[in-house]
Structure 1
Amino acid sequence: MAKIAGAVLFGVLATIGDHHQLFLAGVVALGLAVVAMRDLVIPVRLSASADGLVVAGLAGRERISWNDVDRIRVDSRRRYGLTTELLEIEAGDQVHLFSRFDLGSSVFDVADALMKLRP
């Protein structure tokens, strides 16, 4: 809901001001709208079973067997007083990154659950 509210707010701001502000506010509004639509259309970004993982995104769904998963880890970085935590799933040449907003839960809890499911 916050992303939709932000998109509406920046959309309104795009109608006020000069051309530079209009462009910047329009780009931000469009970006927030795309991310909000992704969250509405694809609410489940990652699912796991005994067979493997299913990663969903705007480009579609991808099935990854446990044999193809090379590493599951949590990357935690501190910058500008904020800590960012991402779940990283490496599968061959691909790296899938998920934040707690993508997962709807703590990335540490999801990493633990995936490690328990992984054979």
Structure 2
Amino acid sequence: MSDEAGEERRWRVPHGHVVLKAAATAAFALVALLSRDDRPFLLLTVVATVGLAALALRDVLAPVRLAADAEGVTVVAGYAARRRVPWPAVVAIRVDERRRLLLHTRLLEIETAGDLYLLSAYDLGEEVEDAAAELERLRTRADL
């Protein structure tokens, strides 16, 4: 972080996740090549390869999923577009936590009048509670 007036915080996809998705893409592509005689299995592996490649490409094109400074937040919207939201337009910052069967999910929610942005710990590279606290700190500092 820089000085208080120009303080900016960025949250990005961890480099290891990008590497893991790229490696999984390569592995599925290899399996697809090796199974080209089995049409149904080939179709399944090609779909998986394309899906993983799309996820890995998004991580390369938009590694910073969230940034915040004294003026507001910048979030990734859609596949890899960025949207700037000034603090006055942010209605709420909260953590949504859900437990179902063996799954436990936590998402950072940034709500505006017309949109809801959802980010996971995988998007942020840290726990969503920590990111929410930091966003509230920056938002409060901006109000001063």
Could you tell me the TM-score, scaled by structure 1's length? 0.91
Name the amino acid aligned to 2:66.
L
Residues 80, 2 of structure 1: alpha-carbon distance in 2 compared, 3 angstrom cutoff: farther
Which structure 1 residue ranges, 5 or more long, are not aligned?
none
Residues 70, 43 of structure 1: alpha-carbon distance in 2 compared, 3 angstrom cutoff: same
The aligned residue for residue 61 of structure 2 is 41
The aligned residue for residue 7 of structure 1 is 25
Separation in 1, partners of 2:80, 2:113: 19
Separation in 1, partners of 2:129, 2:98: 14
Q: Given the alignment, which residue of 106, 115, 135 partners 1:94? A: 115
Separation in 2, partners of 1:26, 1:47: 34
Give the number of the structure with larger relative contact order, counting CA–CA contacts within 8 Å between residues 6 or more apart: 2
Could you tell me the TM-score, scaled by structure 2's length? 0.76
Which structure 2 residue ranges, 5 or more long, are not aligned?
1-18
Name the amino acid aligned to 1:39.
D
- Flag the structure with larger Rg: 2
- Aligned Cα root-mean-square deviation (Å): 1.5
- Give the Å deviation of 1:14: 1.9
Moved more, 99-108 or 6-15: 6-15
Moved more, 53-62 or 69-78: 53-62
Aligned residues: 119
- 3-state DSSP of counterpart to 1:45: strand
